[in-house]
Structure 1
Amino acid sequence: MPSSPSPSSSVQRARQSLADRLRELRQAAELSGTDLAAAVGWHKSKVSRIEKAVQPVTQADIRAWCDACNAQEQADDLTASLRAAEGGYVEWRRLEPTGLRKLQESYVPLYEQTRWMRVYQPHVIPGLFQTAGYARALLGAITEFRNIPNDVEAAVEARLGRRRVLTTGGHTFVFLIEQCVLDYRIGEPEVMADQLRHLLQDMSLPSVSVGIIPADAPRPMWATEGFTVYDTSQVQIELLTANVTVSVPSELNTYFKAFDELSALAVYGSAARELVAASLRALGAG
Structure 2
Amino acid sequence: MSTDFQQARIALGLRLRELRTEGGLTGRQLADRLGWPQSKVSKLETGRQTATHDDLNAWAEGIRRPQVASELAARLRVFESYSRSWRRQLAAGHRSVQDTLTVEYERSTVLRAWESSMIVGMLQTADYARHVFSAYVDLHQSPRDVEEAVRARVQRQESLYRPGKHFHIVMWEAALRSIVAPSAVMAAQLDRLSGAIGLDTVSLGVIPFEAPVKLPPANGFWIYDERLVIVEDWHAELWLDQPNNVALYSRVWETLAGTAVYESSAHRVITRCRRALGAV
TM-score (norm 2): 0.74
Q: How does 1:69-218 map to 2 (within 5 A)?
A: 85-218=79-212
What displacement does 1:284 show?
A: 2.0
Is the CA contact 2:130–2:150 (under 8 Å) kept in the aligned structure 1? yes
Is the CA contact 2:14–2:46 (under 8 Å) kept in the aligned structure 1? no
Alignment deviations for residues 110-137 of structure 1 (CA, whole Å, 9 cap, x no partner):
1011000000001110001000110011
Determine if the alignment matches structure 1 residue 256 to structure 2 residue 250.
Answer: yes
Task: Specify the code of the residue in structure 1 equivalent to 2:8.
Answer: R
Is the CA contact 2:179–2:186 (under 8 Å) kept in the aligned structure 1? yes
Task: Specify the code of the residue in structure 1 equivalent to 2:114.
Answer: Y
Consecutive unaligned residues in structure 2, runs of 5 or more: 16-21, 23-44, 48-75
Structure 2 CA distance, aligned partners of 1:210 and 1:260? 13
Q: How does 1:50-61 map to 2 (within 5 A)?
A: none
Structure 2 CA distance, aligned partners of 1:213 and 1:21? 44
Is the CA contact 1:119–1:175 (under 8 Å) kept in the aligned structure 2? yes
Structure 2 CA distance, aligned partners of 1:21 and 1:151? 41
SS in 1 for 2:261: coil
Alignment deviations for residues 187-228 of structure 1 (CA, whole Å, 9 cap, x no partner):
100000000001111121100001101111112222121110
**Given the alignment, which residue of 12, 15, 36 partners 2:8?**
15
Query: Relative to structure 1, is the Cα distance of residues 94 and 116 closer, same or farther in structure 2, using a 3 angstrom cutoff?
Result: same
Query: Relative to structure 1, is the Cα distance of residues 186 and 143 closer, same or farther in structure 2, using a 3 angstrom cutoff?
Result: same
SS in 1 for 2:244: helix
Query: Relative to structure 1, is the Cα distance of residues 197 and 285 closer, same or farther in structure 2, using a 3 angstrom cutoff?
Result: farther
Query: Relative to structure 1, is the Cα distance of residues 93 and 277 closer, same or farther in structure 2, using a 3 angstrom cutoff?
Result: same
Is the CA contact 1:175–1:211 (under 8 Å) kept in the aligned structure 2? yes
Structure 2 CA distance, aligned partners of 1:118 and 1:192? 24
What displacement does 1:254 show?
A: 0.9
What displacement does 1:242 show?
A: 0.4
Is the CA contact 1:84–1:247 (under 8 Å) kept in the aligned structure 2? no
- Considering only aligned residues, what root-mean-square deviation do their CA atoms show, in Å? 2.9
Task: Specify the code of the residue in structure 2 equivalent to 1:102.
Answer: S
Is the CA contact 1:134–1:187 (under 8 Å) kept in the aligned structure 2? yes
**Given the alignment, which residue of 205, 208, 230 partners 1:236?**
230
Structure 2 CA distance, aligned partners of 1:157 and 1:175? 22
What displacement does 1:163 show?
A: 0.3
Structure 2 CA distance, aligned partners of 1:15 and 1:151? 33
Query: Relative to structure 1, is the Cα distance of residues 84 and 277 closer, same or farther in structure 2, using a 3 angstrom cutoff?
Result: farther
Match of 1:72 in 2: none
Structure 1 CA distance, aligned partners of 2:107 and 2:182? 35
Is the CA contact 2:128–2:186 (under 8 Å) kept in the aligned structure 1? yes
Task: Specify the code of the residue in structure 1 equivalent to 2:229.
Answer: V
Structure 1 CA distance, aligned partners of 2:129 and 2:85? 21
Task: Specify the code of the residue in structure 2 equivalent to 1:182.
Answer: L
Consecutive unaligned residues in structure 1, runs of 5 or more: 1-9, 23-44, 46-51, 55-81
Structure 1 CA distance, aligned partners of 2:81 and 2:117? 25
Query: What is the aligned length?
Result: 226
SS in 2 for 1:107: helix
TM-score (norm 1): 0.72
Alignment deviations for residues 93-126 of structure 1 (CA, whole Å, 9 cap, x no partner):
1111132112112211210110000000011100
What displacement does 1:17 show?
A: 4.0
Structure 2 CA distance, aligned partners of 1:185 and 1:193? 10
SS in 2 for 1:173: strand
